[in-house]
Amino acid sequence: MKTTLTDKFNLWALGKGLLTTLTQLVGTRSGPKLVTVTYPERRLTLHERFRGLHRLERYTEGPHRGREKCIGCALCAAACPADVITVVAEENDLENPHSPGERYAKIYDMEILRCIFCGMCVEACPTGAIVMKHDFELADDARGGPQGGPNRFIYHKEDLLEREFRW
């Protein structure tokens, strides 16, 4: 079978792609379908299942109200494929418990720049202590660390517990 010039350069696919590009160009120039959003003034509505920045939760009602949900089991750290989470557990004080379990997370750190936002830590947590909210802004003027100053992209337990979200 002899190949023709149309088959060799795949002209049908090329023409179809150029037609799509021309349609999009004309459509955005005339105004019916704008893609650009003026971002801090107008924000997009995110989907319900959007996986944004992490947060550690506390109990809001019941006998454990105000206590951390994290029991220091480190299942989230074991499930994390990017090795982002560091958990160091400690025995809970019986007079002043941090969480309802026998242990609590004394150290809970996340190096957020390494995170791939897969949500496996959320799925692995047996108490629902870690959740992913609809916040996604990670901009900063310096990375910190060896360049000077603290690394602002390593979130500690206090940062994850007290984070205020705009969404």
Mean pLDDT of all residues in the chain? 84
Q: Dump the DSSP string for 53-88.
A: SEEE-B--SSTTTTSBS--S--HHHHH-TT--EEEE
The predicted pLDDT at position 86 comes to 96
Cα of first residue to Cα of last residue in the chain, in angstroms, is 61
Please give the CATH topology (third level) of the domain spanning 54-162. Answer: Alpha-Beta Plaits (3.30.70)
43: left (phi over 0), alpha (psi -120 to 50) or beta: beta
Assigned token pair, 145? 């660390």
The predicted pLDDT at position 110 comes to 93
Kindly report, residue by residue over 150-166, the tens digit of the pLDDT.
677 888 999 888 876 55
In sequence order, what are the residues at sequence separation of 6 or more whose Cβ sits closer than 8 angstroms to the Cβ of residue 49?
none
Can you give the residue ranges of every domain in the chain?
A: 1-36, 54-162
The Cα 18–Cα 12 span in angstroms is: 10
Kindly report, residue by residue over 93-136, the tens digit of the pLDDT.
888 899 998 999 999 999 988 999 999 999 999 999 999 988 88
The predicted pLDDT at position 167 comes to 43
pLDDT surpassing 60 at residue 147? no
Are 51 and 112 a contacting pair, CB within 8 Å? no
